[in-house]
């Protein structure tokens, strides 16, 4: 038995035994209710903008039972409230940085003007604030927000800065939708702790910080009491490096209903779902009254391109419990799953005139590392493009694009599986694979403020596996110097 298997065995053991062993075990017993990030308060101003406040702050969190750990959070000691707004609404977020160092807040998956994107050019200085505004122009989806300061994203997210941004749309599809009751956010992350209970930020791998303790919504060893026959789980892989292969311990079939950018055309039955860092999935699972069933992460099945002797180094052999679902003795009935969920527009761009290629290797894209002063290309607004992304490395990477939701045209020439055929903003790119994406940037142009594309393994991104592009109007010209945000950064 390996140490990992032993630890997993302990988690499944009866509670009394787990408690007795809890002193130095890294996977703690399921004794605490899953925290649900609160829905963020908002006010609507005279211009009709829904205004949220996110205050980045330092604090302490009991991530592991009985251990206080220094962490960072928004409006609290770890993670942040769930922002929620409807398609068509205008929103503003007042971001206040009370940390001792600059940070940013990026709206991952959101279609936003570049100056509101919260990338590395929109730094919020220590003690400063920033208030981007935009209109929500995209379908219902589970998006998220997190810092994006160039070179320090991994650390800021690892310390706890991240939250969900849920977009609602009309008409609402008949899926479980009572937030925190049958519609449950799951932010999945991995952490390592020092003997003193601090976050261990040492990073000896090529992939980034890999933790040996799984934390869900900020704590290890969470359980969720389920009151309804079906629950919807909005799952975010909020880890910096870890690839999860999620499923239930009895391999029951659940339905994948949403990907990064919104609902799928119809529910896709599955017993496992893989998520790389930054990706989201919405699933609906049915429970039987009185049962207790853990959601786990299992060893990776999609091992394309990973050398067998390397796999361990990338953490893909590990097993973790994500959350124990405990169904009540009697369950409220839930609506049946709708047969169809969304009408996806026909896949555009397969024959688009604009073709770009992105080769991922080491900490580079197309043999270049990120340079804040270099714009890698210009895209023309409202124009279909085809992006060919190749992982020409022997490390796992993924690929994320700001501002847009793309569609996967093919993976090594084959059409994507159904659960990857919807809107995506982040895609896993195993070593050796070639993925073609239909990409289009709508509505917003800016001659100065760029958007980012990058590997979302955050250590890779920090080391330079990122590039930047402008979206311009057909006649528009780029400014001489990229990046200067059009917002002012007045100290508060």
Q: Which residues bind ligand C2O (CB under 6 A)?
A: 106, 108, 146, 148, 278, 400, 402, 452, 454, 456
What does the binding site for Cu ion look like in residue numbers (CB under 5 A)? 108, 397, 402, 455, 457, 460
The option from ligand C2O, Cu ion, none interacting with 455 (CB < 5 to 8 A, set by class) reads: Cu ion
Quote the DSSP letter at residue 343: -
Tell me the C-alpha distance between 468 and 358, whole Å.
12
Residue among 411 and 457 whose Cβ is closer to Cu ion: 457
**Residue 247 near residue 216, CB atoms below 8 Å:** no
Residue among 182 and 403 whose Cβ is closer to ligand C2O: 403
CB of 428 to ligand C2O, least distance (A): 14
**Vertex 168 angle, CA 234 and 77, to 5°:** 55
**Residue 300 near residue 243, CB atoms below 8 Å:** yes
Residue among 331 and 370 whose Cβ is closer to ligand C2O: 370
CA neighbor of 55 nearest in space, from 35, 41, 69, 36: 41
CA atoms within 13 A on the CB side of 176: 26
Residue among 247 and 450 whose Cβ is closer to ligand C2O: 450
CB of 455 to Cu ion, least distance (A): 3
The option from Cu ion, ligand C2O, none interacting with 364 (CB < 5 to 8 A, set by class) reads: none
Q: Which two tokens stand for residue 197?
A: 């209970």
Q: Which residue is nearest to ligand C2O (CB)?
A: 108
CB of 12 to ligand C2O, least distance (A): 33
Three-state DSSP state, 460: helix
Strand order in the sheet with 407-411: 364-365, 354-361, 384-391, 434-440, 407-411
The option from ligand C2O, Cu ion, none interacting with 278 (CB < 5 to 8 A, set by class) reads: ligand C2O
Three-state DSSP state, 418: helix
CB of 332 to Cu ion, least distance (A): 37
**Residue 357 near residue 453, CB atoms below 8 Å:** no
The residues facing 436 across adjacent strands are 388, 410
CB of 470 to ligand C2O, least distance (A): 16
The option from Cu ion, ligand C2O, none interacting with 390 (CB < 5 to 8 A, set by class) reads: none
The option from ligand C2O, Cu ion, none interacting with 148 (CB < 5 to 8 A, set by class) reads: ligand C2O
Residue among 259 and 321 whose Cβ is closer to ligand C2O: 259
CB of 112 to Cu ion, least distance (A): 10
CB of 353 to ligand C2O, least distance (A): 27
CB of 457 to Cu ion, least distance (A): 4
Residue among 176 and 464 whose Cβ is closer to ligand C2O: 464
CB of 177 to ligand C2O, least distance (A): 25
**Vertex 229 angle, CA 344 and 335, to 5°:** 45
CA atoms within 13 A on the CB side of 256: 25
Residue among 11 and 404 whose Cβ is closer to ligand C2O: 404
Helix, strand, coil distribution of the chain in percent, nearest 5:
10, 40, 50
The option from ligand C2O, Cu ion, none interacting with 407 (CB < 5 to 8 A, set by class) reads: none
The option from ligand C2O, Cu ion, none interacting with 159 (CB < 5 to 8 A, set by class) reads: none
**Residue 307 near residue 395, CB atoms below 8 Å:** no
Tell me the C-alpha distance between 487 and 131, whole Å.
8
**Residue 451 near residue 403, CB atoms below 8 Å:** yes
Dihedral pair phi/psi, residue 10, rounded to 5°:
-65, -40
The option from Cu ion, ligand C2O, none interacting with 232 (CB < 5 to 8 A, set by class) reads: none
Residue among 379 and 455 whose Cβ is closer to Cu ion: 455
Residue among 234 and 454 whose Cβ is closer to ligand C2O: 454
The option from ligand C2O, Cu ion, none interacting with 234 (CB < 5 to 8 A, set by class) reads: none
């Amino acid at each position: 038995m390996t140490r990992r298997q032993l630890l997993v065995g302990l988690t499944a053991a009866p509670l009394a035994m787990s408690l007795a062993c809890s002193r130095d075990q890294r996977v703690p017993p399921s004794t605490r209710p899953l925290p649900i990030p609160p829905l963020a308060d908002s006010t609507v101003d005279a211009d009709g903008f829904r205004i949220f406040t996110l205050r980045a702050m330092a604090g302490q969190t009991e991530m592991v039972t009985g251990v206080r750990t220094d962490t960072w959070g928004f409006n609290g000691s770890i993670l942040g409230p769930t922002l929620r707004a409807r398609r068509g609404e205008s929103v503003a977020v007042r971001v206040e940085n009370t940390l001792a160092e600059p940070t940013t807040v990026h709206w991952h998956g959101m279609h936003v003007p570049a100056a509101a994107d919260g990338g590395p050019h929109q730094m919020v200085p220590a003690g400063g604030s920033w208030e981007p505004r935009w209109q929500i122009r995209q379908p219902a989806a589970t998006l998220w927000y997190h810092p994006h300061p160039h070179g320090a994203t991994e650390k800021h997210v690892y310390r706890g800065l991240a939250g969900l941004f849920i977009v609602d749309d009309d008409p609402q599809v008949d899926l479980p939708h009572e937030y925190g009751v049958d519609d449950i956010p799951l932010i999945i992350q991995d952490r390592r702790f020092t003997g003193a209970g601090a976050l261990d930020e040492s990073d000896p791998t090529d992939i980034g910080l890999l933790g040996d303790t799984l934390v869900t919504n900020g704590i290890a060893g969470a359980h969720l009491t389920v009151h309804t026959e079906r629950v919807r789980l909005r799952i975010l892989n909020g880890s910096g490096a870890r690839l999860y292969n999620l499923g239930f311990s009895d391999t029951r079939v659940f339905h994948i209903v949403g990907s990064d950018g919104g609902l799928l055309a119809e529910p896709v039955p599955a017993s496992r779902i893989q998520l790389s860092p930054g990706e989201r999935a919405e699933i609906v699972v049915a429970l039987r009254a009185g049962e207790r069933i853990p959601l786990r992460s299992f060893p990776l099945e999609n091992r394309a391109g990973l050398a067998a002797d390397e796999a361990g180094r990338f953490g893909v052999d590990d097993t973790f419990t994500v959350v124990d679902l405990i169904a009540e003795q009697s369950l409220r009935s839930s609506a049946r799953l709708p047969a169809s969920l969304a009408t996806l527009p026909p896949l555009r761009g397969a024959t688009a005139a604009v073709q770009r290629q992105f080769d991922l290797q080491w900490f580079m894209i197309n043999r270049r590392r990120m340079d804040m002063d270099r714009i890698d290309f210009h895209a023309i607004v409202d124009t279909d493009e085809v992006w060919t992304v190749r992982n020409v490395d022997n490390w796992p990477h993924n690929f994320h694009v700001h501002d847009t939701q793309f569609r996967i045209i093919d993976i090594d020439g084959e059409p994507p599986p159904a659960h990857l055929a919807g809107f995506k903003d982040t895609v896993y790119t195993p070593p050796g694979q070639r993925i073609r994406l239909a990409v289009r940037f709508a509505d917003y142009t800016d001659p100065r403020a760029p958007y980012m594309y990058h590997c979302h393994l955050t250590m890779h991104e920090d080391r330079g596996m990122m590039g930047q592009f402008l979206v311009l109007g057909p006649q528009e010209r780029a400014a001489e110097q990229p990046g200067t945000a059009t917002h002012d950064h007045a100290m508060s």
